[in-house]
Amino acid sequence: MTTVKPAGTGTGSAANLSRDNSPTETIRKLEDSFAEREVEQNKKHHQELVGVNELHKEELQKIQDSHERSLRDIKARSEDTITKQDMNYQKEMKDMKDMYEKRLEKLALQNKRVPESGT
């Protein structure tokens, strides 16, 4: 006499197949799949952020370098202008000093002549 086992109680492939296709197993697989996709998306997003931060850092460095060059250029031009102005001022001062000395010499000569002609 053969005994008949109820469905799903044996170790045969039909019972395993039935368990693998159960709604909870399907949900678990979907959740695992979703979790894997979420992890991959997070990794991709993180890599994109790292790339954007690196590009931002490089762009900021370029801006800083450009600004420093501009400041050095302005400083150099200002020094040239100040140097030229200072040289002009020094020349004017020398010219005024020379003119003052000549005038003093002229006055001194006139003062020497005046007493001679007055006696």
- Lookup result for tokens 């040239």: 80
- Is 4's pLDDT higher than 80? no
Instruction: Please report the pLDDT score of residue 13 as a whole number.
Output: 47
Instruction: Please report the pLDDT score of residue 14 as a whole number.
Output: 47
Rg (CA), the chain: 50
25 HSE (CA, 13 A, CB side): 7
Mean pLDDT for all residues in the chain: 83
Instruction: Please report the pLDDT score of residue 110 as a whole number.
Output: 87
For the stretch 43-81, pLDDT in tens is 999 999 999 999 999 999 999 999 999 999 998 888 888
